[in-house]
Amino acid sequence: MSQMTNEINYNVHCNDQTGSQLNDEGNGVGMVLKKGPWTAAEDVLLVNYVQKHGEGNWNAVQKYSGLSRCGKSCRLRWANHLRPNLKKGAFTAEEERMIAELHAKMGNKWARMAAHLHGRTDNEIKNYWNTRMKRRQRAGLPLYPPEVLLQAFQERKHGQGTGEISNGDGGHHDFLKKNNYEIHDAIFDSLKENQGILPFLPDLPAISANSFLPNCLGSPPYCNFLPSTLPNHDHFQESTMSFIGSSELNSNEFYPFDRIKDNNSDKISESFGLYSPLDRGASSHGSICYSHSLSNGNSSTSKLISEAAKSELPSLQIPETEFGCWGTSPPPPLNESLDVFIHSPQPPNALDSGSSPLNSGLLDALLYQANTLGCSKNNSSDKSLNSSIATPGDRAESSALNMYETEWEDYADPLSPFGATSILNEHPVVSTNGNSWDDWELFQTFSGNNERLQSVDQVWAPKSGNQSMSLLNLTLPDVLITSDWHELYSDHDSMNQAVMTEASDDISGQ
């Protein structure tokens, strides 16, 4: 920045309490304190002061160093720019990953996050996160890197592999413990508290997503759609949402938030801090994280959800739900995005079942949706769904991490060939299906096996035009709906259906 050359002097009083205190203590009442960018000379004065007197007692800086800065300003300048061992420059991939994990864990606790990132300041992390968040919001991408999600899977699987069944108390907290991170308990506590309020909050989960994802995503059909390398977990999320939603859209029996706006709706929305008109648009854009962020325009996870009028709900902090057929009620449309999942109260019959995937978050939504499809195909699909863990999924998980690290950001990068922004900008769409170009791009890019998909497509061709169109609306990127892409890739829906069906088959087969 050009602070060294910029000699702006605001010449205003430091109007916080420290400044006023300083005025009394230091150079006298009415001392005019400088604001604005620091000059090199000021830096030298501050450094000299700290070298002589050490850190702390910042209000004395003015007194002993001659700086016309309030103590707080001096402290910030020292902490953020002058103190030794500060690491400057761009964040490394590892740092970015840590930030994401830490943010998933603790929300906007920048200082605490900085404690985990040696040489980085809270301000730096905060700025990074905010800009990154905005960038990803624009791109319609989730805030959290896929490896964080993947880590969740692995943690959950590990727990399950040892006979542990995720439950409401522990299941959601486990996945970051590998790094000594822990999902903010308050998030889940709040959700629990809201169980009596929110009709769609289930008894906390009895089955881990882990039991499903490795199977489904590792299965051959998913190796196509979500290849074993899973090069982009953003896509993983969004694509998941896409093909999940595809299975049910044709039913026209989903339950958008504003359609089931019962007495609890307001409370629900308030609870999640999502009561914003923006959410509709955000939801329509197809990313839960994106939507969450948009809900307040400036995300904050530092608050409890229950009080989070300003809060962002990290995607990872969405509770897992019970995994099962969940009655016979038509599921809500996943294409409404996870925001709707969070927003939407249950349809009445779903409420009767006592649990719902609506609040389950992405993974559980996937679980639910796939299983629902499985139920539709096979009414006896109440088999145990967590009885085994498929090794293909393991492969997918292990191999994915390496690739995500770089490709995730590349994909998120609007300038990237995989970036969504440029495409979306080029093809402004009015979509209500919550899908993005990313889904299709991912599919096209990483499936790498169109032949196989084609064969699957042949097997699971849409049964009706309506279904086909519905599926298309859900599964194709928005751009396809409003452009010639539609024709070009109009069979994508059937592929998705095939994938989804295979997923349910896998589940049922377990």
Partner DNA sequence: AATGTCGGCAACCGCCCCACG
Partner DNA sequence: TCGTGGGGCGGTTGCCGACAT
For binding to DNA (CB under 7 A), which residues are involved? 1-3, 5-6, 8, 10, 12, 14-18, 21-22, 24-25, 34-38, 56-60, 69, 71-73, 75-77, 79-81, 90, 108-112, 122-124, 126-128, 130-132, 134-135, 138, 298, 300, 302-303, 310
Nearest-approach distance from CB 310 to DNA, in angstroms: 7
DSSP string spanning 60-126? HHHHHH---S-HHHHHHHIIIIISTT---SSPPHHHHHHHHHHHHHHSS-HHHHHHHSTT--HHHHH
Strand partners, 12: 33
Q: Nearest approach, Cβ of 4 to DNA (angstroms)?
A: 8
CB of 378 vs DNA, minimal distance in Å = 47
Do 156 and 175 contact (CB within 8 A), yes or no? yes
CB 205 within 8 A of CB 437: no
Rounded to a whole number of angstroms, the minimum distance from the CB of residue 90 to DNA is: 6
Distance (Å, rounded) from C-alpha 75 to C-alpha 66?
Answer: 15
Q: Specify the residue, 24 or 203, whose C-beta has the smaller distance to DNA.
A: 24
Kindly write down the DSSP assignment for every residue of 213-226, as one continuous string. Answer: HHHHHHSHHHHHHS
Q: How far is the CB of 73 from DNA (least distance, A)?
A: 4
Tell me how far, at minimum, the Cβ of 284 lies from DNA, in Å: 20
- Cα-Cα-Cα-Cα torsion 228, 506, 207, 446, nearest 10 degrees, comes to 20
Distances (CA, A) of 437 to 434, 444, 474: 10, 10, 11
C-alpha–C-alpha distance, residues 253 and 483, integer Å: 27
Closer of 144 and 236 to DNA (Cβ): 144
Taking the least distance from each CB to DNA, the nearer of 190 and 250 is 190
Q: Which is nearer to DNA, 53 or 463 (CB)?
A: 53
Task: Between 12 and 41, name the residue whose CB sits nearer to DNA.
Answer: 12
3-state secondary structure 450-492: HHHHHHHHHHCCCCCHHHHHHHHHHHCCHHHHCCCHHHHCCCH
Comparison of 4 and 197: residue with beta carbon closer to DNA? 4
- Phi and psi angles of residue 387, each rounded to the nearest 5 degrees, phi first: -85, -15
In the bound state with DNA, the residue whose beta carbon lies nearer, of 110 and 440, is: 110
User: Rounded to the nearest whole angstrom, what is the least distance from the CB of residue 43 to DNA in the complex?
Assistant: 8
